[in-house]
Chain A
Amino acid sequence: MDGLRRHKSMFLLPGLLTLFLIIIFPLLFTIRVSFSGWNVSNPSMDFIGGANYTAVLHDSRFWASITRLILLAGGTVLIQYVIGFGMALLVWREVRGRRFWRVLFLVPMMTTPVVMAAIWQTIFHESLGPANDLLGMLGLTRIPWLTESAPALFALMTVEVWQWTPFMFLLLLAGLLSLPKEPFMAAAIDGAGTWRTFWKVTFPLMAPVSVAAVVIRLIEASKLSDSVYVLTSGGPGSSTETPGYYLYIQGLRDQQTGYSGAMSLLYLVLMSVTLTVVATLLTRAFKLKGDS
C-alpha cells in the first residue's frame, strides 16, 4: 500500500517541482534579497538585517502612493462593477444581436494595456488629441488632461475603466447565466416588478460572483503600473504614482534590488491583508442584503 502511495506521489512530482520553481523559489529568493543591500553598485547578497524594511516604513513616497492607489483602485473597480453589471444585464436576456454585443463589449479587454495606454495618451493629448477638440466643438474649455493632478487622475481612471469593465462584464454575465430560474418565477408569481426583482432576487443571488469579481479586479488593480508608465510617468509631480510604478522605478530603473524586494514583500503582505478584509466585509454586506 505504502509502495502504491509512493508510486502515485511520483506522478505529483513534476507539478510540485514546477510549482516550486515558478512560485516558491522566486518568493524565497525575493525574501532573501530583501535582507540584502543589493543595489546598482553593490550586486552582492550580503546580509543587512531588516534595514530595508525599516527604510520602506519611513518612505513617505511609498505610503503616498498606497493612499493614491486606494482611491484609484477603489474608484475604478466600483465604476467597473456598476457598468459591467449593467452591460451584463443588458445582454443577459434575449436582445437583438446579443452575440455581437457580447463580443464587442470584450474588445477593450483583449487589447494590450501598454498599446491602449499609448492610444489614450494621444486621445488626451492637449494640443492634438480629440478629447480637447470635442470639448472645443461643444464650446467648453480645454482641459489640461495630463498636466494637472485632478484631470490626470481622471484620465488614468478612464483608461482603467475602459480597459477592465469588460472583464467585470464577462464574470457577471457568466454568473447571471448560471442563476436558477425558480426564484425569478416565484418573484413573477408574487407580482414583483423589474426593480424589485433585481434588488430582492438577482442582486442577492449574484453576491458570491460579485464578491469574487470585485476581489479579482482589486487584486489586478493593485498592480496598476503600465498605464501610469505610458500615460503620465507618475506625474504631474507625483500625482499619479502608484506603488507598482514606484516599485518599477526603484527595482528596475534605479536597480535598488534589495530595497525593492523589501518593498514588494511589504506591499504583498499589505495587499493580502487588505483584500482579505475587503472580501470578508463584502461577503458580509451581500449576505445582509440577501437576508433582508
Chain B
Amino acid sequence: MRSRPYRALVAVAAVAALTATACTAQNQAQQKPKEKAGLFKPGSEISYQKYGKDYPATKVKDVPGPCSYDSISRKDYSGQTLKIISHAVPVIGEPTQLHAKQFEDITGGKVEVVNVPFGELHQKILTPLQAGQPAYDVMFYPSLWIGDMAPYLEPVPQEYLDTPGMKDVTEAYMDVATWNGKVVQYPVDGDRHYLKVRTDVLKDPEWKAAYKQATGNDLEVPKTWAEFQQIAQFFTGKDLDGDGKRNHGSAEVTKRDDLTFSAFISRAAPYVKNPDVKGGVFFDVETMKPLINTPGFVRALEDMVKAKSTWAPGGANFGLGDEIFSFGGGQTLMSYSWDDAFIQAQQPDSRIRNQVQAAPLPGSSEVYNRTTKSWDKKANQAPYFTWGWTSAVAKASRHQQMAFDYLCFFSNEANTALDLTIGRFGVNPYRYAHFDPAFWQEQGWEKDVAESYVLTLSGMEESRNRVFDLRVPGVNQYMSALANGIASAVAGQESPQQALDGVAREWSKITDQIGKDKVQSAYRDVVALEDNS
C-alpha cells in the first residue's frame, strides 16, 4: 500500500526530468543559428539614416570580419528572442535600441529592449541574476559594477576575444572588462574624465592681457587645480560672448545622487595618487582602512567647496545633463567630466564649435604621501578612468551565442565609428583605432581640436599613474556614502574634514557588512591596475 504514492512520485519526477531534459535540449538547439545568404557585400556603405531623421547622414564602410554586417547577416536567428536591459534613452539606451532593430532586420531574430532609468538599473539587473532567473540575456550597465555582477556573467568566449575589434580595445578597457583573469564584460565604450576649455577665450590676446594684469600669471590651459580655480574665478561674471549675458568659470557635476562622486575623484586624483606609494587610493589594501578622510581627499573637497563661487547659477545642483549643456552651450569657460560636453560643443549647430580644446585633468603641485604622512612637493598628474558603459551576457541566458553575436555586431567597426559621432549615444573612444585625428577631421573638426582630443585620450592610456573606480562588491553603497559627504560639505552643513570623516565611518561599516575578505580580494585587483603590477 505504502509503495503506491512513492511510485507515483517517482513517475512524476521522471516525467518532470524528461520534460526538463527535452526543454534543455531544445534550448541548446536554439542557441545555434542557421546559415543563410548574406544581405551585405563586403565593404558595403553603412548609414543609420533609414532608421530616422535624427541620425546624421554620415556613411562608413562595413569592415570585413566576424562582427561585420556581412557576417552577422549570414546568421539566421528567426524563432529566437533576445532580451536586453539597458539604460534609458538616449545615453547607451538609444544605440542599444537602434542596433537591436538592425540586428532583427539582418538576422530575423527578435530583440526586446527594456530601458531603465539610471537609479533603478542596478537593482533591475542584479535582483533576477541573484534569484537565478534568466530575465535578461544581455545587460548594459556602468563597468564599475563588475564586483556585484561578475559571479553571474558568462565569460566572453575565445572566438569573440579573437575578433579584430576586440584585439584593438585599449589595454585599460580590457583591464576594466576583466575579473579574476577572465574577460566577463564586453567593451562597448571608454570613459575618462578630462578637461575641456574654450579656446576663443583662453587664446584671445585681450583676455590674456587682462588676466596677466589681474593675476600676474599667463593665461593658459590650467595644469593644476589651483590654476583652474584662479582662471575660473577671474572669468566668473564676465561676458565672454558679447551677448550681454554673464558667463561663468566652471561647470561640474554636483547633484548629490548624479555622479558627483566621479567629479570629486577627478579633483582628488592628483592629491592622492602618489606614484611612489603603492597599495591603494581608497583603502589601504592590507588593512582595508578607508583613506577617504586623509589630507589629499580633504584638500580636494576644500577645493570643490571653494569652486562654488565660480559655478553658474544653480551649479551646485548640476546633473550630468546640466554640465553638458552649460559647457556645450557656451555658458561656462571650463568643465571636466566625460566626452559628452565636448562632443556637444562640437555639434554642427554649436556656437563654440571648433573653439574648444581637450586637455588632461588638472594636476597638483604636491601629492600626499600616506606612508610618511606628509606632502611630497612635486608636480603630479593622475588620469581617472571613470567607469564607462559596458555590456555582458548572463550566465543563465539560454541564448548566449545570439547574445554575444548581438554585442559583436553592436560594437563592430562600422557601428562604433557612427556611434562615436553622435554625442547623445554616450559611446566614446575605447579602441586604438579611435585615436586617429583624421577620423574627427572628417566630421568637420578642425585639426587642432581633433588633435587635442585624441592626444588627451591616448595620453591617458600611456600614463602609469592612473586611478580606477572602486570596483568592489557594494560599490554603489560606497559611492552613495561618498556623494552624501560631498553634498554635505558643498552645502556647508559640515566642514570637508568632518564630512569625509563621516564617509570613512560609513565605508568601514559597509566593509564589515559585505565582508572584509570579499571587498579586500576585489580591491586587490583595482590596486593591481593602479600600481601597474
A interface, CB within 8 angstroms of B: 37, 39-43, 61, 125-127, 132, 142, 144-147, 149, 229, 232-239, 248-249, 252-256
Task: Give 1 or 0 for each of B315-326: 1 = CB within 8 Å of chain A CB.
Answer: 111000000001
Report chain A residues within 8 Å CB of B127: 43, 255
> Considering the complex, which residues of chain B in the window 18-70 have a beta carbon less than 8 Å from any beta carbon of chain A?
none
- The reply to whether B331 and A234 contact each other, CB–CB distance below 8 Å, is no
B119 and A229 contact, CB distance less than 8 A:
yes
Chain A residues whose CB sits within 8 angstroms of the CB of B257 once the complex forms: 233-234, 249, 253
Q: A-facing mask of B470-504, CB < 8 A → 1, else 0?
A: 00011011001000100110111100000000000
A45 to chain B, nearest CB (A): 12
* Other contacts beyond A236-B317, A236-B490, A239-B491: 9, CB < 8 A: A43-B127, A145-B314, A146-B314, A147-B316, A229-B119, A233-B255, A233-B257, A237-B492, A238-B487
Interface members, chain B 318-356 (any A CB < 8 Å): 326, 331
- A238 interface neighbour in B119, B314, B484, B518, Cβ under 8 Å: B484
CA–CA, A170 and B148, complex, Å:
48
Looking at B120, B122, B317, the one whose CB has the most chain A CB atoms below 10 A away is B317
Q: How far is the CA of A146 from the CA of B258 in the complex (A)?
A: 15
Residues from chain A with Cβ under 8 Å of B314 in the complex: 125-127, 144-147
CB distance from B290 to the nearest CB of A (A): 17
Determine whether B513 belongs to the interface, using a CB cutoff of 8 Å to chain A: yes
A239–B480 Cα distance when bound, in Å, is: 16
Those of B243-295 within 8 Å (CB) of chain A: 255-258
User: Quick one: given A229-B119, A236-B487, A238-B484, are A41 and B474 in contact (CB under 8 Å)?
Assistant: yes
B491 and A237 within 8 A (CB) = yes
Task: Provide the residues of chain B in CB contact with A147, threshold 8 Å.
Answer: 314-317
Task: Write the B111-137 contact mask toward A (1 if CB under 8 angstroms, else 0).
Answer: 000000001101100110011000000
CB within 8 Å of A: which of B451-486? 473-474, 476-477, 480, 484
> Does B181 make an interface contact (CB < 8 A)?
no
CA distance A53 to B309 in the complex (A): 42
Q: Are A252 and B120 in contact (CB under 8 A)?
A: yes
| Measured CA separation A238–B331 after assembly (Å) | 28
A142 and B315 CA atoms in complex are apart in Å by: 14
Q: Does B79 contact A (CB under 8 A)?
A: no
A235 touches B477 (CB 8 A): no
B487 touches A235 (CB 8 A): yes
In the complex, the answer to whether A43 meets B120 with C-beta atoms within 8 Å is: no
Beta-carbon contact of B473 and A254 below 8 Å: no
27 sampled A-B residue pairs with Cβ under 8 A:
A39-B474, A40-B126, A40-B476, A43-B127, A126-B312, A126-B313, A127-B312, A127-B313, A132-B313, A142-B313, A144-B314, A144-B316, A146-B314, A147-B315, A149-B491, A233-B317, A234-B487, A235-B487, A235-B491, A236-B256, A237-B488, A237-B490, A239-B493, A249-B257, A252-B119, A252-B120, A256-B477
Q: Is the CB of A254 within 8 A of B317?
A: no
Min distance, Cβ A64 to any Cβ of chain B, angstroms: 10
Q: What is the CA–CA distance of A40 and B270 in the complex, to the nearest angstrom? A: 31
- Which residues of B155-210 are within 8 A (CB) of A? none
> Nearest A residue to B148 by beta-carbon distance?
A40
Given contacts A126-B313, A147-B315, A233-B255, whether A43 and B130 have CB atoms under 8 Å apart is yes
Give the one of A42, A229, A237, A253 with max B CB within 10 A. Answer: A237
CB distance from B469 to the nearest CB of A (A): 16
Closest-CB distance, A224 to chain B (whole angstroms): 16
Contacts of A37 in B (CB 8 A): 513
Shortest distance between the CB of A254 and any CB in chain B (Å): 5
Residue of A235, A239, A252 ringed by the most chain B CB atoms within 10 A: A235
Q: Give the residues in chain A near B131, CB-CB below 8 Å.
A: 43
Least Cβ–Cβ distance between B498 and chain A, in angstroms: 12
A6 to B480, CA, bound (A): 55
| A40 touches which of B255, B477, B492 (Cβ 8 Å) | B477
A229 to B492, CA, bound (A): 21
Across the interface, A255 reaches (CB within 8 A) one of B123, B316, B491, B493, namely B123
Interface centre among B131, B313, B473, B490 (most CB of A within 10 A): B313
Closest 8 CB pairs of A and B: A237-B491, A126-B314, A126-B313, A236-B491, A147-B316, A43-B130, A41-B473, A237-B493
Is B444 in contact with chain A by the CB < 8 A criterion? no
Contact: B490 with A255, CB < 8 Å? no
A40 to B119, CA, bound (A): 15
- Contact, CB under 8 Å: B256 / A234: yes
**Measured between alpha carbons, how far is A229 from B487 in the docked complex, in Å?**
15
Given A41-B148, A233-B255, A236-B487, check contact A254 B316 (CB 8 Å): no
Chain B residues whose C-beta falls within 8 Å of the C-beta of A253 in the assembled complex = 119-120, 122-123, 257, 476, 480
Residue from B120, B256, B490, B492 in contact with A233 in the complex, judged by beta carbons closer than 8 Å: B256
Alpha-carbon gap, A108 to B487, bound state (A): 32
Q: Is the CB of B255 within 8 A of A235?
A: yes
The answer to whether B316 touches A236 (Cβ under 8 A) is: yes
Complex Cα distance A145/B317, Å? 10
B313 near A235: Cβ-Cβ < 8 Å: no
CB distance from B365 to the nearest CB of A (A): 30
Within 8 Å CB of B317, what residues of A? 146-147, 232-233, 235-236
Would you call A40 and B474 a contact (CB within 8 A)? yes
Instruction: List, in ascending order, chain B residues with CB within 8 A of A248's CB.
Output: 119
Taking the complex as formed, is B90 at the interface, i.e. its CB lies under 8 A from any CB of chain A? no
CB-based nearest A residue for B121: A253
Judged by a CB distance under 8 angstroms, whether B9 is at the interface is no
For the complex, give the distance between the alpha carbons of A239 and B126 in Å: 30
Q: How far is the CB of B387 from chain A (nearest CB, A)?
A: 16
Q: Which residues of B contact A39 (CB under 8 A)?
A: 474, 513-514
Whole-angstrom CA separation of A144 from B312 in the bound complex: 11
Is A255 a contact partner of B315 (Cβ separation < 8 A)?
no
List of B residues within 8 angstroms of A145 by Cβ: 314
CB–CB B473/A40 < 8 A: yes
The answer to whether B513 touches A255 (Cβ under 8 A) is no
Nearest-neighbor residue (CB-CB) of B318 within chain A = A147
In whole angstroms, how far apart are the Cα atoms of A149 and B130 in the complex?
Answer: 39
Distance A254 CA – B256 CA, assembled complex (angstroms): 14
CA of A249 to CA of B257, assembled, Å? 9
A43 to B148, CA, bound (A): 11
Interface flags for B430-444 (1: CB within 8 Å of A; 0: not) read 000000000000000
Residues of the A chain whose Cβ atoms lie less than 8 Å from the Cβ of B491: 149, 235-239
B residues less than 8 Å from A41 (CB atoms): 148, 473-474, 514-515, 518
Closest to A259 in B: B513
**Contacts of B326 on A, CB cut-off 8 Å?**
127
The distance from the CB of A82 to the nearest CB of chain B, in whole angstroms, is 30
